[in-house]
């Protein structure tokens, strides 16, 4: 414990010679391992943990029945603890016999190319890169050193990826964006001539798609974290260290700032500007630009079904009610209110 405290800049409460061999959940815990308490919701579990130690805040330290590392951000300290005990997946240099590698591709001798991978012409694979089974790296794409494509990942033509990126199974990076022009009753495809540029230390979740740009590139800056099943439209730009949770959809040409946090199920219209340090809560529909940092929400939380049905019925009358309120506010000398105004057309 004392050694961990020194590495992680924490203080120890209790026996500093306690030995730790791994990490665990707070409940039920595991002998010889260390858990963490960050969410007050789980404070009731602390007194019953079987862990050898915990990471927690100074306020919770007096309640701990076991030695503790005291930190202002227990979740962050626990993440760094987990890194110390984790066994990272390192590259095992070589190209599997079933892989297909174009003669003009440049594969570093320290890279691992798994079974049934395809690497097309002029692609470049950096040092210590791991391509899991069935990955495709299209022509002229670049994969930076120590990046890992777990399995069944598609990297499109000309996509560039920085160092230490992780792309989870089923992700598609650099497919065509959704670009079509109307010709009467028909749609004419607009060629998608841009590509995707990804910075260092980006992580992209399973079955997430990042479309290539129409003319300019789609860009994910360094440290961006994308969850599973996210759709990123063409020419979107996402600023450094922004995190986006699952099932979010971002329409084309929207620009998202740095250090934003976007919760699950958010929908964004296209061509918007989102400022730095914006937080958007779950299931929010963003239809206009957000020019200032802060927390933004829309939508209604779950409710009893009968009450929800009554409220839905009332929603239909809001426009009429708004017209009546305006008429009352104008007073008896306001004259006759036009029918269109009564219906709230200028609400």
pLDDT over 50 at 231, yes or no: yes
Residue 301 confidence class, pLDDT cut points 50, 70, 90: confident
pLDDT mean over 171-181 = 97
Q: What gap in Å lies between CA 51 and CA 184, rounded to an integer?
A: 68
Percentage with pLDDT > 90 across the chain: 91
pLDDT over 50 at 51, yes or no: yes
Q: What gap in Å lies between CA 73 and CA 76, rounded to an integer?
A: 6
Token representation of residue 340? 């269109």
Interacting residues of 50 by C-beta distance below 8 A, sequence separation 6+ = 28, 29, 30, 31
pLDDT over 80 at 340, yes or no: no
103: helix, strand or coil: coil
Identify the residue whose tokens are 């990490």: 23
Token representation of residue 135? 């990955």
Q: What is the pLDDT of residue 333?
A: 60
pLDDT mean over 211-222 = 97
Using alpha carbons, select from 221, 265, 259, 266 the residue that is nearest to residue 243: 259
Residue 300 confidence class, pLDDT cut points 50, 70, 90: confident
Q: What gap in Å lies between CA 150 and CA 205, rounded to an integer?
A: 10
pLDDT mean over 170-181 = 97
Name residue 53's beta-bridge partners.
34
What would the pLDDT profile of 70-100 be if each residue is shown by its tens digit?
999 999 999 999 999 988 788 999 999 999 9
Dmax of the chain from CA atoms?
89
**From 108, 116, 234, 241, the catalytic residue:** 234
pLDDT over 80 at 179, yes or no: yes
DSSP state, residue 75: H
Residue 344 confidence class, pLDDT cut points 50, 70, 90: very low
100 or 331: which leads in pLDDT: 100
Residue 346 confidence class, pLDDT cut points 50, 70, 90: very low
Q: Catalytic annotation on 116?
A: no
Integer-rounded Cα Rg, in Å, for the chain is 27
Residue 331 confidence class, pLDDT cut points 50, 70, 90: confident
Identify the residue whose tokens are 């964006």: 177
Q: What gap in Å lies between CA 71 and CA 84, rounded to an integer?
A: 17
Q: Which residues of 253-283 are buried (b: 16+ CB within 10 A; e: fewer)?
A: bbbbbbebbbbbbbbbbeebebbeebebbbb
Identify the residue whose tokens are 């227990």: 74
Q: What gap in Å lies between CA 151 and CA 141, rounded to an integer?
A: 17
Output helix, strand, coil percentages for the chain, rounded to the nearest 5: 20, 25, 55
pLDDT mean over 219-244 = 98
Identify the residue whose tokens are 């951000």: 73
Q: What gap in Å lies between CA 77 and CA 83, rounded to an integer?
A: 10
Q: What value does the mean pLDDT of the chain take?
A: 94
Q: What is the pLDDT of residue 87?
A: 80
Residue 345 confidence class, pLDDT cut points 50, 70, 90: very low
Contact 107, 89 (CB under 8 A): no
């Amino acid at each position: 414990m004392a050694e961990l405290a020194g590495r992680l800049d924490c203080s120890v409460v209790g026996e500093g010679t306690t030995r730790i061999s791994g990490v665990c959940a707070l409940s039920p815990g595991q002998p010889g391992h260390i858990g963490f308490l960050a969410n007050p919701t789980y404070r009731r579990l602390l007194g019953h943990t079987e862990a050898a130690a915990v990471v927690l805040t100074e306020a919770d330290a007096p309640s701990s029945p076991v030695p503790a590392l005291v930190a202002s951000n227990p979740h962050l300290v626990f993440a760094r603890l987990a890194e110390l005990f984790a066994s990272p997946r390192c590259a095992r240099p070589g190209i599997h016999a079933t892989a297909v590698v174009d003669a003009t591709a440049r594969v570093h001798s320290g890279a691992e190319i798994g079974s049934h991978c395809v690497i097309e012409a002029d692609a470049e694979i950096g040092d210590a890169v791991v391509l899991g089974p069935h990955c495709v790296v299209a022509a002229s794409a670049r994969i930076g050193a120590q990046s890992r494509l777990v399995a069944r990942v598609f990297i499109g033509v000309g996509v560039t990826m920085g160092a230490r990126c992780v792309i989870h199974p089923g992700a598609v990076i650099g497919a065509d964006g959704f670009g079509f022009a109307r010709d009467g009753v028909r749609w004419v495809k607009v060629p998608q001539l841009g590509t995707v540029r990804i910075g260092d230390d980006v992580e992209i979740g399973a079955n997430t798609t990042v479309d290539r740009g129409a003319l300019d590139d789609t860009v994910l800056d360094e440290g961006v974290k994308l969850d599973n099943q996210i759709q990123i439209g063409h020419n979107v730009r996402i600023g450094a260290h922004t995190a986006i949770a699952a099932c979010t959809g971002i329409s084309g040409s929207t620009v998202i700032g740095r250090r934003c946090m976007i919760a699950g199920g958010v929908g964004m219209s296209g061509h918007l500007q989102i400022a730095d340090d914006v937080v958007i809560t779950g299931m929010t529909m963003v239809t206009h630009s957000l020019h200032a940092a802060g927390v933004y929400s829309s939508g209604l939380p779950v409710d009893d079904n009968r009450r929800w049905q009554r409220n839905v019925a009332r929603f239909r009358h809001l426009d009429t009610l708004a017209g009546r309120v305006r008429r009352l506010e104008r007073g008896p000398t306001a004259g006759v209110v036009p029918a269109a105004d009564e219906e709230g057309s200028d609400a």
